[in-house]
Structure 1
Amino acid sequence: MAVLAVLCSYGLAQKVVIQFWHSMGGTLGEATQELVNRFNASQDKVEVKAQYAGTYDDGINKLLAALRSKNPPHLVQVYDIGTQILVDSQGAIPVQDFIQRDRIDLNRFIRQPLNYYTVGGRLQSMPFNSSTPLVYFNLNALQEAGIKPKQEWTFEELADVARKLTKRDASGKVVRYGIALADYGWFLEQISYNNGFYYCNNENGRKAPATEVNLDNPAVEKYFNWFLSLYKEGVLLYVGRRTADSQSAFATGKAAITFDSTAVLAGITRTVGGKFRIYTGYFPYFQEFGRTGVSIGGASLWLMKGPNPPEVEAAWSFIKWLVQPEQQALWHLKTGYFPLRVESLELPEVRRVHRENTNYTTAIQQLRTSKVSNVTAGCLMGSFPEIRQLSEQALEAAMQGKPVKEALAEYKRRADASLERYNRSVGR
């Protein structure tokens, strides 16, 4: 581990202790702690102390408060939509600085995660838990209905399948919904990208800082109408904003289809047990627009500025260790997040699991067949966490009877106002 040689040059007589804040709870938190434990046991120069900082929203708020008080952790996991906020905070060291110094070859890294976290031509943070949205199917239900599973779906096809998979009793009461969905803003963002639309202007904030939110783009409008139509037919079970509730409806057999992240693959598989087989497909698109591809979700690791060089080096040594093929393979198989390194997919244990369970391959293939562009790079903008919540409120308004166009126009105005306030606050 070359960076440890740098630490030794400081003549330190005891371990360097670094604080690592993350937002991985439950099974994902256990996998995160396992990686931390393995790193600590692998050498005697650095000790990583991991701390759960709450949800992604809680974590970024806690970090911003720590930056204001000039007491941030050494290393922090921040979700994708916090990227512009972290760049604007000027509280982090771009990992590009260390990559160039240590001559790390990024050619064997999967391109899309690097693409997302590259701002101003420099990789700002190291991708850690990268995911894409998938469609989860009850394979038994598909086969019983005589429906052939496939990877690529349009929303129009998915609506027909969901209708066929909906079961009612003699009185007409739904006993199994075709599909269960949460009101999750990430889906709206991915629907935009997958159908070829920027979610914010200036090419997703990649050509110049974003000043407008494209919440009312044609793909999102079509999705709202699609969603409402299936809901009114009694085919779609609406569970509110929590994807944990749509996961539960799917895993217990209350619904035959759901949308969710590849990150929950391992957890859903365990919850389902042997009750039925799971099949995963690519996130859908509308036939009118065609498939462009998805962006990544999840989070990355930010190396925070600090007055103590050995601690910064120690935090970087942990990041370098985490992105080695063996660690990436372990993370992938324990969680369902895809590995950052191509070499991880070539390891025997990964090949074996992929042969036995092709669901692990779906997200990787979906990403490989997504076009690499500013559309699929994902939107960069400040106040994104608030804007995501506003997008969820727009669907709620439509569910309560507000015409779709009016709901999208109203919440677009609110989102644009939020972004304008943010841009003023950072001098843009």
Structure 2
Amino acid sequence: MGGSLGEATQELVNRFNASQDRVTVKAQYVGGYDDGINKLLAAFRSKNPPHLAQIYDIGTRLMVDSGATIPVQDLVQRDRLDLGRFIRQPLNYYTVDGKLQSMPFNSSTPIVYFNLNALQEAGIKPKQEWTFEELAQVARKLTKRDKDGKVVRYGIALADYGWFLEQISYNNGFFYCNNENGRKAPATEVLLDNPAVQRYFQWFLDLYKEGVLLYVGRRTADSQSAFATGKAAITFDSTAVLRGITQTVGGKFRIYTGYFPYFQQFGRTGVAIGGASLWILKGFPQEETEAAWSFVKWLVLPEQQAAWHLRTGYFPLRVESLELPEVRKVHRENTNYTTAIQQLRTSKVSNVTAGCLMGGFPEIRQLSEQALEAALQGKPIPEALAEAKSRADTALARYNRTVGR
């Protein structure tokens, strides 16, 4: 994690090191999520892995299949660590083959960011739960044009980010891969052409053609910038960037956040978690493995989770963290910190919202992003999605062959 999130991570490392004199943790920045997993695979090959690795959610199947990790469930049970007061969805995501494989760390969900001043000026009452149909109408009302018809403020700015397509699937009740999101049996088919994604592509294209939606490419940093500078009044992003966006906006306008939207036809099911988890690697002396585990246990204590939550916007893993006075105070003063937590608490716990578990996911996510790009360039939506699905299925089959499935 880089930037302010990297600084927050390093702060936790420093605090742990200062809290005791038995273990020293050294944190190494290896780039973004894709870089992290690629460098870990290279470290496996060179037989020089770290004791502990932070790997994003969609690397879970690969990490389990690698056989290079110690399921944290084994250590949890040995030490009788009570997971009963942990928020259920992050544990649900990283539970594979009946075992919690890694410890959730930075967990997030997508939310909608609104320019509250713009909403109020337009006479629109803010609320937490939105359908895509309602959001389209609001975006149209918030779009501003000059006397020549040129857009001076877009209703909404969005990036072409595959994570959104996955979350749209879950929130509308659809699996993103077969075998119940790869939870009943290993996934063999990618369902990225499901009805919710098809509807989203049409929704996106309609608003784009109307000049209501600003398409910024694949980088969410660019949609964040468009929102923070007032170029657009709405955007989608992770709860993890709440603090960063708030700091960038400064006092220019007030921010309001709402739940990730759903289509009225399907109804709201709920979102899956994103972010990353901590994996303990095999092959080290027992004393060093215990040292790594001691750091993981320290990180998920209520106090550390509270500090992480307030410093970043990622939600805490433990209910006790939400009950601490400093967290209650911030939530009273800024209800935006509560949005993602309430969204998660009101999401149904099922294999739909557990999230898709499959190999080759990083490549497949890129293929889904290419599908939206193709649709924006004029390819019919069914054709764009069919091509992406075919290539995604091929990528998944190739992965399954490499691990003997």
Report if TM-score (shorter chain) is over 0.5. Answer: yes
User: What are the residue-to-residue correspondences of 1:149-164 with 2, within 5 Å?
Assistant: 149-164=126-141
Write out per-residue CA displacement over residues 56-104 of structure 1, whole angstroms, 9 at most, x where no aligned residue.
0000000011112221100000000000000000111000010000001
CA distance in 2, matches of 1:45, 1:242: 42
User: Which residue matches 2:69?
Assistant: 92
User: Which residue matches 1:56?
Assistant: 33
What is the aligned counterpart of 1:327 among 304, 312, 318?
Answer: 304
User: What are the residue-to-residue correspondences of 1:177-192 with 2, within 5 Å?
Assistant: 177-192=154-169
Counterpart of 2:319 in structure 1: which amino acid? V
Counterpart of 1:204 in structure 2: which amino acid? N
User: Which residue matches 1:387?
Assistant: 364
Q: Which runs of 4+ in 1 moved over 2 A?
A: none
CA distance in 2, matches of 1:360, 1:419: 37
User: Which residue matches 1:362?
Assistant: 339
Write out per-residue CA displacement over residues 351-374 of structure 1, whole angstroms, 9 at most, x where no aligned residue.
000000000000000000000000
Three-state SS of the structure 2 residue aligned to 1:71 is: coil
Structure 1 residue 213, shift from structure 2 partner: 0.2
Counterpart of 1:98 in structure 2: which amino acid? L
CA distance in 1, matches of 2:57, 2:403: 19
Counterpart of 1:200 in structure 2: which amino acid? C
User: What are the residue-to-residue correspondences of 1:215-230 with 2, within 5 Å?
Assistant: 215-230=192-207
What is the aligned counterpart of 1:70 among 37, 41, 47?
Answer: 47
Write out per-residue CA displacement over residues 93-124 of structure 1, whole angstroms, 9 at most, x where no aligned residue.
00001000000110000000000000000000
What is the aligned counterpart of 2:294 among 301, 310, 317?
Answer: 317
Counterpart of 1:30 in structure 2: which amino acid? E
Q: Which runs of 5+ in 2 are unaligned?
A: none
Counterpart of 1:210 in structure 2: which amino acid? A
User: Which residue matches 2:247?
Assistant: 270
Three-state SS of the structure 2 residue aligned to 1:180 is: strand
Structure 1 residue 145, shift from structure 2 partner: 0.0
CA distance in 2, matches of 1:209, 1:232: 40
CA distance in 1, matches of 2:276, 2:75: 19
CA distance in 2, matches of 1:220, 1:115: 24
Counterpart of 1:43 in structure 2: which amino acid? Q
User: Which residue matches 1:297?
Assistant: 274
Write out per-residue CA displacement over residues 164-219 of structure 1, whole angstroms, 9 at most, x where no aligned residue.
00000000000000000000000000000000000000000000000000010000
User: Which residue matches 1:376?
Assistant: 353
Write out per-residue CA displacement over residues 21-77 of structure 1, whole angstroms, 9 at most, x where no aligned residue.
xxx110000000000000000000000000001110000000011112221100000
What is the aligned counterpart of 1:306 among 256, 263, 283?
Answer: 283
User: Which residue matches 2:229?
Assistant: 252
Structure 1 residue 327, shift from structure 2 partner: 0.1
CA distance in 2, matches of 1:130, 1:180: 24
CA distance in 2, matches of 1:285, 1:307: 46
Structure 1 residue 338, shift from structure 2 partner: 0.1
CA distance in 1, matches of 2:183, 2:297: 27
CA distance in 1, matches of 2:27, 2:369: 32
Structure 1 residue 427, shift from structure 2 partner: 0.2
User: Which residue matches 2:315?
Assistant: 338
CA distance in 2, matches of 1:239, 1:311: 45
Conserved 8 A contact 2:160-2:369: yes
User: Which residue matches 2:89?
Assistant: 112
1:232 aligns with 2:209: yes
What is the aligned counterpart of 2:11 among 34, 42, 55?
Answer: 34
What is the aligned counterpart of 1:175 among 152, 159, 165?
Answer: 152
CA distance in 1, matches of 2:307, 2:29: 20
CA distance in 2, matches of 1:158, 1:74: 45
Counterpart of 1:302 in structure 2: which amino acid? W
TM-score, normalising length: structure 2: 1.00
TM-score, normalising length: structure 1: 0.94
CA distance in 1, matches of 2:139, 2:284: 57
User: Which residue matches 1:419?
Assistant: 396
What is the aligned counterpart of 1:287 among 253, 259, 264?
Answer: 264
Conserved 8 A contact 2:51-2:284: no
CA distance in 2, matches of 1:307, 1:179: 50
User: Which residue matches 2:220?
Assistant: 243
Write out per-residue CA displacement over residues 274-324 of structure 1, whole angstroms, 9 at most, x where no aligned residue.
000000000000000000000000000000012311111000000000000
Three-state SS of the structure 1 residue aligned to 2:275 is: strand
CA distance in 1, matches of 2:284, 2:209: 58
CA distance in 1, matches of 2:283, 2:235: 43
CA distance in 2, matches of 1:112, 1:388: 22
CA distance in 2, matches of 1:315, 1:103: 17
Counterpart of 2:147 in structure 1: which amino acid? A
Three-state SS of the structure 2 residue aligned to 1:108 is: coil
CA distance in 1, matches of 2:125, 2:185: 45
User: Which residue matches 1:139?
Assistant: 116
Could you tell me the percent identity over the aligned residues? Answer: 86
Three-state SS of the structure 1 residue aligned to 2:61 is: helix
Q: Which runs of 5+ in 1 are unaligned?
A: 1-23
Cα RMSD between the aligned structures?
0.4
Three-state SS of the structure 1 residue aligned to 2:24 is: strand
User: What are the residue-to-residue correspondences of 1:196-215 with 2, within 5 Å?
Assistant: 196-215=173-192
